[in-house]
Structure 1
Amino acid sequence: MRKYETLLLFSPELTTENRKEILDNLGAIVAREQGQTLMLDEWGSRELAYAVNKFTRGHYVRLEYAGPSPLIAELERNIRITDGILKFVTVKLDENFQAGEE
């Protein structure tokens, strides 16, 4: 298993319930693809350096998880088709992550 993090930029128009629903869906995808969610870190609403889809603010969330590499393709596919997510970036943190270590 490898350890990854995905930084998500949500539209400021989404309610807290909408964001929670999207994050629950992403967590279910991680679990379905034999992955493990390690941390969900909400950074909150922040001013953007430049406008994204005419928004000058956005809500940031960092999702840290471990799983096999096909998990990334499925997770990013779902992120791309989800309304309300303006941008995202995924980074590999650890090549040989073992479940239970942190």
Structure 2
Amino acid sequence: MSNNYEVVFITRPDAGDDVIKGIIQKVKETVEGLNGQVVKIEEWGKRRMAYPIRKHADGHYVFANISSSPAASKEVERILRLNEDVIRYQTVKKIETKPVIKKAKKKKNVPAGIKQGEAKESKEVNP
């Protein structure tokens, strides 16, 4: 069963581009190796964090949207957890909801013989 996941991870600010590209490549290989698909990867760049993590005030953010089995997402989390250059990560399962369609309420005070739509349009003004 394939689910959609969003993965965001933050690397150390002093990690080079080759290190970040290597982590991204490892994530891609892991997902595709377990019959998943990487839908999109965005590098958000170096940003200031809300609070210091492991004595770092900045971090390089990477966002990935993947479609895979739960086992593949767990393996991606394991890879990110074991990598010393990754200081924080989070995986969120996207739940697709069906739109709720509300039924139209019928008006009780519509005279017999007049349709509901006509009752709204035919408002009489008494001077």
Amino acid at match of 1:66: S
Counterpart in the other structure of 2:11: 10
Counterpart in the other structure of 2:46: 45
CA distance in 2, matches of 1:91, 1:58: 20
1:1-102 alignment, distance < 5 Å: 1-94=2-95
Counterpart in the other structure of 1:99: none
Amino acid at match of 1:7: V
Shift of 1:64: 0.6
Q: Identify unmatched segments of 5+ residues in structure 2.
A: 97-127
TM-score of the superposition, structure 1-length normalised? 0.89
Shift of 1:94: 3.9
Amino acid at match of 2:70: S
Runs of 4+ residues over 2 Å off in structure 1 = none
Shift of 1:72: 1.4
Q: Secondary structure of the residue that 2:75 maps to in structure 1?
A: helix
Shift of 1:31: 0.6
Q: Secondary structure of the residue that 2:14 maps to in structure 1?
A: coil
Structure scoring higher RCO (CA < 8 A, sep ≥ 6) equals: 1
Q: Identify unmatched segments of 5+ residues in structure 1.
A: 96-102
Q: Which has the higher strand share?
A: 1
